[in-house]
Amino acid sequence: MNQEAWTLLFLPLITAVVCQFILRKSFITPLASTASALITLVLAISLLGREGTLSFDWATIGDFKLSIGIHLDKLSTGMMVVVTGIGTLVHIFSLAYMDQDEAKGRYFTGLAFFMFSMTGIVLASNFIMTFIFWELVGFSSYLLIGHWYQKASAADAAKKAFLCNRVGDFGFMIGILMLWGITGTLAFGEMEVSPAVSTATLSAAILCIFCGAIGKSAQLPLHVWLPDAMEGPTPVSALIHAATMVAAGVYMLFRVQLSLGAEVFHGLQASVVIAWTGGITALVAALMAIQQDDIKKILAYSTLSQLGYMVMAVGLVAGEAGMFHLYTHAWFKALLFLGSGAVIYSCHHEQDIWKMGGLWKKLPITTACFGAGFLALIAIPFTSGFFSKEQILEAAHHEQPVLFWIAVFVAVLTPFYMTRLFLIAFMGKPRAHGAEEAREVSPVMWVPLAILATLALISGYPFIAEQIAPAYLKPHHLIHLGFTTYVSIGAVLAGIAAGFALYFGKDKDPLDIPLLRNKFYIDDIYDKFIVRYFQDTFAALIHFFDELFINGLAVGGLSRASVSVGNFFRRVQSGNLQAYSYAFGLGVVLVIYFTVFR
C-alpha cells in the first residue's frame, strides 16, 4: 500500500521532470504524460477504500516537525479517482485537440505537473503540505492558462488568475497559522478543538481559511479570474477550471470540517458567512451566464454558480452533499467543457454561439454527449446532477429558507441559460462558415466524451457513488418525493420552458441586459477603482520614495560621490612625461628629507 500511495503522488512529478529536461519537444512527451495519468488512475482505483496515514519528516525545527505525508480515507481516495479519471480523459482528448500545437511538449509537461500538484492537495496529511501544493496548483494553472502566451489576453488572464489566487492565499496562510494556534497541530488526523476556545476566535480562523477557498474556488468577490482563465486551451479549462482545481477550495473546506468535527461548525458565524457567500455567488454567476455569447464563458459562469452551490452546502454543514455535488459536477462539467472543445475544434476555433448552429447534424456524437452533460447540469431527474443538487436543496431547506429560495431560483436560471446555449449552438441553421464546414471529431476525442457522458448520467446512483464518491450519504429512497423534489423539478421545467420560449429558432439574442452582459460591471469597478485609485496611487508613492531615497541618495549619491572623487584625482594624470618625473623627483626629495633629516 505504501509504495502505491507514494507512486501515486510522485509519478506525475517524475514524468513532468523527465518531460521538461529530457524529452522536451519529442513526440514521446504527450504519450509519456498520458501514460503517467493512466497509471495514476489505476493506482487511485486500487487505493479505494484504504485508510491510514503515511508520512516522513521533512524538516525539524526544535520541537516542531514538518512532515510530508499521505492521508488516505474515503474522502481523499474518492477524490483521487475523480482527479486522475478526469485527468486521464483530458490527456487523451488533448492528444487530438493539441495535435497541431507547436508547443504541445510544454502543454503536456504542464498537465503532468498539474496532476502532481493536485494529487498533493488531495492526499496531503497536514496543512503546510496542503498550502505548498495549493501554491503549486496555482503555478501550474498559471502556466496552462498562459499556454498561448503570445496572445496578450492569455498572458493577462494567467497573471490575473495568479494574482487573485494570491490575494486569497494571504488569508489562507493566516488562517492556517491561527488554526495551528488553536489546535496545536497541523496534521488533519490530530486536530481537535478544545471547548475553551471562543467561537469568535474559531470563526475568525475558519474565515481566514475560507479566504483561500474564495480565491481557489473563485467565489465572490475574487471570482473574476475564472472566466478570464478560459483563454487557456479548452481541455485545460475542463480539467483545471471546471472539475478539479477550482473544486480544491470546497475539498479543503470539507477536509477542515471533517478534521475539526462537523458539530463545531453548527451555529458558527463563519458557517453563515460561508453559506451566504456560496449562495450569492451561485445567484450572481448564474445571472451573468444568461447574457454571455462565448460558449466557454457560459460554461465558466455556470461552473462558478455550481461551485457556489457546493460552498453553500459546506456552509450549511452539509459538506457531504457539497462533496457529492463536487463529484457529479466534475464529471458532467468536464464533459461539457471537452464537448465545447470538440465543437470549437470542428468549427475552426469559433467560440461565439451565435456563429454556430445546426451542429447536431454535423456532430451527432458530440451533440449526444454534450446533451447528456446538459441534462445532468440542469438536474433532470435520474441524472447524476439531479441527485446531488437534491441533497443540497434538502440541506438548504432544512437550515436556511432564504438560501433555499435563492438556490431554487438558480435552479431555474441554470436550465434557462443552458437551454439557450444548446438551442443556439446545436439546433437551428448554421449561421457562419465555420459551423457549415464542421465535421465530426476523431474517436480520440469522442471516446473520452462518451465515457464522461456515461458517468454524467449514472454517477449519481448509489451503486457507483458508494464506491467512488468522496463523500456520499445514501438516501433512504432513490427519489424521495417531497416538497424540495417538487420545487426543483418545477424549477427545471420552468427554466427549460422559458429558454425554449425565448430562444427557439432565434438568430439574434432577444434579450439585451447590459448589466448582466457586463458581468455587473465588477471587472470595471476593479479596474477603475482598485487598480487606478488604490494600486496606481500606491505605485506612484513607492516610485517617489524609490526615486528620492534609493535612486537619489543611496545608489545615485554613492555613484555621484565616487565620480567626483575620481574627477579630482583625474587631474593628477596629466599625461606629461616631465610632470611625472618632476613629481617623482619631488617625491625622492621628500623621502630623503623624512628619512635623513627627521
Interface residue list for another protein (CB under 8 A) = 569-578, 581-582, 585
Nearer to another protein, 150 or 576 (CB): 576
- Residue 571 CB, nearest approach to another protein (Å): 7
575 class by beta-carbon count within 10 Å (0-12 exposed, 13-18 middle, 19+ buried): exposed
- Residue 559 CB, nearest approach to another protein (Å): 18
Nearer to another protein, 510 or 575 (CB): 575
Nearer to another protein, 518 or 581 (CB): 581
Q: Which 3 state secondary structure label does DSSP give 56?
A: strand
Nearer to another protein, 529 or 584 (CB): 584
- Eight-class DSSP state of 511: -
Nearer to another protein, 548 or 579 (CB): 579
- Residue 577 CB, nearest approach to another protein (Å): 4
- Residue 560 CB, nearest approach to another protein (Å): 19
How many Å apart are CA 139 and CA 104, to the nearest integer? 18
Residues in the chain: 598
- Cis peptide upstream of residue 415 (ω within 30 degrees of 0): no
Decide: 465 and 388 in contact? Cβ < 8 Å: no
Nearer to another protein, 569 or 597 (CB): 569
Q: Which 3 state secondary structure label does DSSP give 65?
A: strand
- Which cell is 176 given? 492556517
- Residue 151 CB, nearest approach to another protein (Å): 54
Decide: 95 and 446 in contact? Cβ < 8 Å: no
Beta-bridge mates of residue 64: 61
Q: Where are the alpha helices (DSSP H) in 291-400?
A: 295-315, 319-346, 359-362, 364-377, 384-399
DSSP calls for 433-483: HHHHT--PPPHHHHHHHHHHHHHHHHTTSHHHHHHH-SS----SSSS--SH
- Residue 575 CB, nearest approach to another protein (Å): 3
Decide: 293 and 352 in contact? Cβ < 8 Å: yes
- Eight-class DSSP state of 442: P
How many Å apart are CA 510 and CA 180, to the nearest integer? 54
Q: Which of 165, 120, 122 is nearest to 141 (CA)?
A: 165
Handedness of CA 452, 241, 417, 446 (dihedral sign): negative
Nearer to another protein, 535 or 581 (CB): 581
- Residue 565 CB, nearest approach to another protein (Å): 13
Nearer to another protein, 194 or 578 (CB): 578
- Residue 584 CB, nearest approach to another protein (Å): 10
Decide: 456 and 383 in contact? Cβ < 8 Å: yes
- Residue 592 CB, nearest approach to another protein (Å): 13
Angle at 446 between CA 443 and CA 449, to 5 degrees: 150
